[in-house]
A and B are shown apart, each in its own frame.
Chain A
């Protein structure tokens, strides 16, 4: 789950990473109240799931209540490349001597945690990586050992930060590592990490992405529920615990397993169709899951045909078949359905489906045949 800046700062605060005093505001009045509390000057910042807020006019400096109200009023409702601002973060403005970049993420090739630190902060780190790769100091951390103080110090020295920042940077990086690991972040990034004229090192921004698989040990993540950047279909799917990604086409896709779902999207495209979505029902597809999947697919007006592609492993053929039959008892889709069923207990599954087959519910033996028929149906149904 990708967090917005203010949520990332809440995670940072939990682990003791220094941020500027501030709070969330949803109206201009609230913004002024926060500003009075934290002290002027303040920065008023749009909270959206997208970068480049400053250039879009979503970050403004204010010296008094009037300016705060003016900027807050302008930023609320602002459309930043399709993301409309409804939440602001208002914080005491920091004096900045220098801007750095720091982050931790998983290096999947090395299978270790990767820390990146650069004296060139406040800009897009991918641009730095492309134009001046040597400007990024990297450290690989063995998860069974953790980031040691000596390692952090050598890393900071390799990044050639201002010597005045060394001790503060070592401290904040050790804390950021703990936040990244104990906080189950997929990404914990500070850009910019700033050095103030009086020698403090602190986080001016926060970009945090959480590992959804670790939610069971983070009850505090409840606070972030419902704030994700999802379209309506994705929100409905999430409520029903389905893995769904919305696309633009007309063939709705339900498959079991991420790989098969991806492959189904590929095959539908290759036979000349346009996939409406990626939807993985995972293992163990019962009637409730299948009904939920059909409902999510049908909430998309563009869908003209549905392709259910199941290869049984954990998911058993008779469960899927019963699931489909029962789901169709509860819910009548607008679109015709093409089913391809194979694998564990597939024959039993096909026997269960047999009496229910019609021109609205078709069974095909192979993935390619099923894709072709689904695409044909999507083209002919008005």
Chain B
């Protein structure tokens, strides 16, 4: 078990013939991910180191039984690519593209909710998802993810920031703690998948015994997650919130990361999570140590 992706996931890479798409698509395949096709309307017919390139996502579904997409296209083309994948019937779409206009993100999110309710979009501007040993879609370096421990306990990871997702994987790897699935939801204002979506999935997942959550300043996603944890999550959790020392009113790189009017502060988020029973660390290492204690108590 795992969440969102596993051995049965068959990935089409939209943008496989571009520099980033080729690099990460091939890396994902080298990890063991079943990358069954690439899409490029202009380069259909060629192959990228044996991966066939077709003209449309629909063709990748029909001819290669793709059931998930990895979108690696420039910002101006991302909204169209995501909707093409949803229209072709893919239920899981990962988009790593950074710099998509907020209006496009809001439009795509609502179009998916209205017209493609069964589709899950992860991202945009996210590192992707890895179920170690099974499937890796996105830009995570597979070797830093610890394989799940047979019989558990295993930890599910969910994080807003890309590099902090890797940091979290790394902390658990150092401690040889098994990982069921690691999801990076992305730092943009309108992420397709929220903390709550991931927490709900981890709570249901038989392989996941505990959850490590990495949030950051801005918005109210972590507060919403805390409410959900208090009401619905029975599995033990540790967490870290980045941006404790961020000055108010300044955008810290991520479009979403801005503290305004005393709302969205790291302290407020840490307090909300602690009140919901989550062990909150002051940095990624401390959150990892808290998770190690949780895992020791479960073993």
Contacts and interface: CB of A to CB of B under 8 A. Distances in A.
| A and B bind | yes
A154 interface: no
B187 A259 contact: yes
A368 B20 CA distance: 31
A106 B105 CA distance: 11
Given A113-B106, A245-B250, A278-B252, A266 B163 contact: no
A211 interface: yes
B110 A259 contact: no
A311 interface: yes
Listed residue (B102, B217, B250) with the most chain A CB atoms within 10 angstroms of its CB: B102
Interface string A250-269: 00000111111111011101
A280 interface: yes
Interface in A359-382: 366-368
A143 B110 contact: yes
B257 interface: yes
Output the residue of B163, B167, B254 with the most chain A CB within 10 A: B163
Given A211-B103, A216-B76, A257-B164, A106 B285 contact: no
A375 B216 CA distance: 24
A266 B245 contact: yes
B120 interface: no
Interface in B47-80: 75-76
A247 B217 CA distance: 17
A312 B217 CA distance: 23
B160 A186 contact: no
B27 to A, nearest CB: 8
A143 B76 contact: no
B141 A312 contact: yes
Interface in B234-257: 240, 242-247, 250-257
Contacts of A266: 242-245, 282-283
Interface residues of B, number: 62
B106 A259 contact: no
Contact of A144 (B101, B107, B164): B107
Nearest to A269: B245
Nearest to A183: B103
A60 interface: no
A262 B246 contact: yes
Contact of A260 (B100, B111, B161, B245): B161
Contacts of B162: 257, 259-260, 313-314
Contact of B256 (A108, A143, A313, A314): A108
Contacts of B161: 257-260, 262-263
A263 B166 contact: no
B167 A108 contact: no
A184 interface: yes
A259 B111 contact: no
A344 B141 contact: yes
Given A113-B106, A143-B110, A214-B103, A260 B164 contact: yes
A262 B252 contact: yes
Contacts of B98: 282-283
B252 A368 contact: no
A69 B107 CA distance: 49
Given A108-B219, A266-B242, A313-B127, A259 B101 contact: no
Contact of B283 (A112, A184, A263): A263
A174 interface: no
A262 B161 CA distance: 10
B260 to A, nearest CB: 10
Contacts of A217: 76, 101
Interface in A270-292: 270, 275, 278, 280, 282-283
Nearest to A371: B283
Interface string B200-227: 0000000000000010110111001000
Contacts of A270: 282-283
Contacts of B251: 245
B109 interface: yes
Interface in B84-116: 96, 98-103, 106-107, 109-111, 114
B153 interface: no
25 contacts: A109-B220, A111-B109, A143-B107, A144-B110, A144-B114, A184-B103, A211-B102, A256-B163, A257-B163, A259-B162, A260-B163, A263-B242, A266-B242, A269-B245, A278-B246, A278-B252, A280-B253, A311-B167, A313-B141, A313-B162, A314-B20, A314-B162, A344-B141, A367-B167, A367-B283
Given A314-B96, A314-B139, 17 more contacts: A111-B190, A144-B111, A258-B257, A259-B162, A260-B163, A262-B217, A263-B240, A265-B245, A269-B244, A278-B253, A283-B98, A312-B141, A314-B20, A342-B144, A343-B144, A366-B285, A367-B284
Interface of B: 20, 24, 75-76, 96, 98-103, 106-107, 109-111, 114, 127, 139-141, 144, 159-167, 170, 187, 189-190, 214, 216-217, 219-221, 224, 240, 242-247, 250-257, 261, 282-285
